[in-house]
């Protein structure tokens, strides 16, 4: 988990201020030939909340997503992409946040039980939804 985001969540008491907070992440930048890559994380906050540097406020435009829940099997991204390309939907690529990033924020991983981690009521293994942007063919 990103230490900077987690520190912000804990220091701001975000779990109490916004108990419906959600945590997302994605590769940024994408993996290179050696497999090295970064990972950007977002947490939802109230509209009027101050965002201290080095964090920046972003607006996410959302969209329609195919979702697949995993317990850490990130190799399932390939399975989800195959499903999207072989069914009644197609991918809907494109940056969905402002300011735009060089990342992969069109393909998100939502950390489903982050609230439990923050509040000390973690139910066990971390679960994720792989979120792949789609549209009807």
Name the stretches of the chain with pLDDT < 50.
102-103
Domains of the chain: 3-136 (3.20.80)
Instruction: Look at residue 70 in the predicted model and tell me its pLDDT.
Output: 92
How far are the Cα atoms of 98, 101, 129 from residue 77, in angstroms, in the given order? Answer: 25, 21, 10
Please give the pLDDT value at position 42: 92
Residue 2: predicted pLDDT? 82
Output the pLDDT for position 134: 84
Provide the pLDDT for residue 75.
86
Q: Which of 71, 76, 68, 67 is CA-nearest to residue 124?
A: 71
Is the CB of residue 55 less than 8 Å from the CB of residue 42?
A: no
Per-residue pLDDT, 7: 93
Measured CA to CA, the distance from residue 119 to residue 132 in angstroms comes to 29
pTM: 0.81
Task: State whether the Cα torsion 30-31-37-43 is positive or negative.
Answer: positive
Q: CB 26: neighbour CB atoms within 10 A? A: 20
């Amino acid at each position: 988990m990103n230490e900077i985001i987690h520190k912000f969540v804990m220091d701001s008491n975000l779990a109490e201020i916004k108990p419906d907070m959600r945590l997302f992440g994605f590769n940024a930048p994408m993996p290179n030939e050696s497999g090295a890559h970064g990972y950007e994380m977002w947490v939802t906050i109230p509209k009027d909340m101050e965002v201290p540097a080095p964090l920046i406020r972003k607006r996410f435009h959302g969209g329609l997503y195919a979702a697949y829940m995993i317990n850490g099997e990130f190799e399932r991204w390939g399975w989800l992409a195959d499903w999207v390309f072989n069914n009644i939907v197609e991918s809907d690529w494109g940056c969905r946040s402002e300011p735009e990033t060089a990342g992969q924020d069109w393909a998100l991983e939502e950390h489903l039980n982050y609230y439990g981690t923050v509040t000390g009521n973690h139910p066990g293994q971390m679960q994720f939804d792989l979120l792949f942007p789609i549209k009807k063919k």
